[in-house]
Amino acid sequence: MEIAIIAHDGKKAEMVQFLNEHSEILHQKNVTLISTGTTGSKAEKAGFKVTKFLSGPYGGDAQIATRVAEGFCKMVFFFRDPLAKHPHEPDIFMLMRLCDVHDVPLATNPATAELLIKAL
């Protein structure tokens, strides 16, 4: 199962912590992680194997949206920072819209991601 991990700058540490806390489930369920560039680099430093795309502002969110639209990505963990401005907001909304269009589960915070990962 392919799962996308994305985190805004203020949430990257939370994403790595989440992955560490659930690494056993990820390995047991044979999850393949894909990610935007910087989030993926942080996850790799924590020992996770990740296929990295571009950084979000450079098109990484759009690349992951393509994976969703093509039916490859089956779940998205996108830890958003609602208190910061993001120049690539249209790409973020496109990814979220495509998750809705293609009925792909989307968690925008650790609490929701916790529920989704337990459902695996």
d(CA 53, CA 40): 8
Say whether 91 is catalytic: no
Identify whether the C-beta of residue 79 lies closer than 8 Å to the C-beta of residue 108: yes
Out of 9, 61, 91, 103, the active site residue is 61
Maximum Cα–Cα distance across the chain: 37
b vs e for 78-111, b when ≥16 Cβ sit within 10 Å of the residue's Cβ? bbbeeeeeeebeebbebbbebbeeeebebbbebe
- Active-site residue numbers? 61
